[in-house]
Chains A and B, each alone.
Chain A
Amino acid sequence: MTRPPLRAAAVLDRFGAQRVLAGALEEAFASRSIELELLSHRALVAGVSIVQDGRERPRVEPDRPLLWLSAADPSPDLTPDDRFLHSEVVAASRSIAMLSRSPVVNRPTPLSPCGRFPGSAVMGVRRVAGLPGLDVAVRCERFTAMQVGEVAGADEGPVASGAEVYDYATGRSAYGVADRVPGPVRTRRSLPSARLVRVRVAGRGVLAPGSVPRWFETASLDVARSYELQLATVWWLVDEAGRGTLARVDCWTWDRSLDGDAHLIADALAVWLLDEARAPDPGLPGLDAEVAVP
């Protein structure tokens, strides 16, 4: 007897910023005989119920494997009513992804809408430095804003030369800027001779340029694992001696940064899902113990 086909759903912006990724997923999953539905958060929520009777573990109905690839539907120009509905949908879909017993790629946790990845890019990099057993260099950072009305061009500015500067006012990054800007700005020491290297973690695999030492693959996998992510992009600054400084971690994957990797990513996720769906149910840590109320 043949097994019924696995049915999964991907929650993403299939008509917008993740159109290419969505297409690649459809192909990859079809070729591995997994039925894949592409859903917005709104569509996911419309078809799912969560039952909690206070005695047994929560039930998500239907409960199916999920690819959790965005935190929310795009939300331009909402009226107050629509904004409330938007928040309701976000809240509901996050609970669905958290409580589903089936495997979920980048399953949200109590700490974050995406694995355990922190809410700010800054902490996403800085916290890696504290991980036990992982010797990853990260840079110190400084955030500054001038008082509004303060005159530009005074002696001391918050923005030193030799720095990598992100200006919140313009949303632009620059290197070695010595001009004063009102800010706020985020500055880090720049590493002028280093090159930026991107390592993608997808499922159990790693996509890295052949030119970097294996260490970067292992370290990137460790970073992704520490945040409980099956899909992530880890950016390194690699100096001439081959040493790496962690520059950035992305927990969401958008078409604009796919660079031709869509099919490899999609296939790696299909393989991961098939493996996980066959594995015994590991339970949801902290969320579904059999209830024993005194």
Chain B
Amino acid sequence: MIGIAGSRADPVMVHFATRCVMREVPFAVIDLVDLAATGGWSLSVPPDGSDVFHGGEVVRPGELSGIYVRPIYLGRSPAEAARWQGLMDGFTAWMDETEVAVVNRPRHHQLNSSKPAHYAWLSASGLRVPPSLMSSDRERLAEFVRAGRAVVKPVCGTRATTREIAATDVDALPEPAGPLLVQRLVEGDDVRAHVVGEDVVACRFSSTAIDYRSDRQARRQRVDVPDALADLLVDLTAEQGLTFAGWDFKVDEAGDYWCLECNPMPGYSFYDRVCDGAVSDALVDVLGGWLS
């Protein structure tokens, strides 16, 4: 049986559970938000047979074939935060030591939330990454932007709309309160490749919008990325301590793949619909060891 640990309010969790229902794969829900708020639970490190979650259902995590976890905190009050913290401390330490397959284990790269270092790692790992500049110096930023088309995006990688920026925009900015990250704009289609263990499932989008996700008319289709790239992505996903990752690329006119980022907790449901559930199926294969 597969454990789904997260929140019922998370559409990605609902999407995966729905796929499990369709495929008649047994699963148990570990609603971390409910458990933290009102449930009882007990977890030990090293894990032992008494580990249990008393939520909507009683789940013994050590008996699961695998766990797909997306911890998203939704509480507000200090009391809720304290209960959440206790649950997360225990569950994270448990996942760090359990033999059960976990997507993704706690011991993985966190570079995605610090973009310049992320780019350095991607680039040193053999991927093509668009040139970039992080700075608070308006003159340097303007110089970068004058030298070619550029986008501006958050340094920390929280979801904010990436947009094209012109040199005149830089001049019009108030003295930047914080750092700005500008990157050379790559024209072309977007490819999102999901790696699950050894599998690569990719889809391609054609849109004129800078962020194709805001474009409902974007053309979309499942594609194969070149073999050498697929192999590299599988290796680099594992190297980051991840089993499951979402890789973003732009593909230019020459067909070259430019890596934008690797997301360690991909919200993949949108892409999975384009790929007929292939990503969920790959997750099921990794987590439901008993199936094979």
Task: Please give the residue numbers on chain A whose beta carbons come within 8 Å of chain B beta carbons, in ascending order.
Answer: 42, 45-54, 57-58, 84-85, 87-92, 94-96, 98-99, 110-113, 118-123, 126-127, 140-150, 158, 168-169, 171, 183-186, 284, 286-289, 291-294
Contact = CB atoms under 8 A, between A and B. Distances in A.
Interface in B22-65: 37-46, 54
Contacts, number: 207
A185 B93 CA distance: 14
Interface of B: 37-46, 54, 79, 82-83, 85-94, 96-97, 106-111, 113-117, 119-121, 123-137, 140, 154-158, 160, 177-179, 228, 240-241
B93 A52 contact: no
30 contacts: A46-B136, A50-B132, A52-B123, A54-B123, A84-B160, A87-B158, A91-B155, A94-B114, A94-B117, A95-B114, A95-B120, A96-B116, A99-B116, A99-B117, A110-B109, A118-B106, A120-B92, A126-B45, A126-B97, A142-B42, A142-B43, A143-B91, A144-B43, A145-B87, A146-B40, A168-B85, A183-B86, A287-B124, A293-B126, A293-B127
A294 to B, nearest CB: 7
Nearest to B45: A141
B123 A112 contact: no
A142 B41 CA distance: 11
B93 A144 contact: no
Contacts of A286: 121, 124-125
A40 B29 CA distance: 43
A207 B33 CA distance: 43
Contact of A145 (B44, B83, B94, B123): B83
Pick the most buried of B106, B107, B116, B129: most chain A CB atoms within 10 A of its CB: B116
Contacts of A141: 44-45, 93
Contacts of A287: 117, 120-121, 124
B156 A288 contact: no
A193 to B, nearest CB: 24
A185 B106 CA distance: 21
Given A54-B129, A126-B93, A147-B39, 8 more contacts: A45-B179, A50-B134, A53-B131, A58-B120, A85-B177, A91-B157, A110-B109, A291-B126
The CB with the most chain A CB atoms within 10 A, among B54, B86, B125, is that of B86
A291 B96 contact: no
A95 B117 CA distance: 5
Given A50-B133, A184-B87, A291-B124, A58 B116 contact: yes
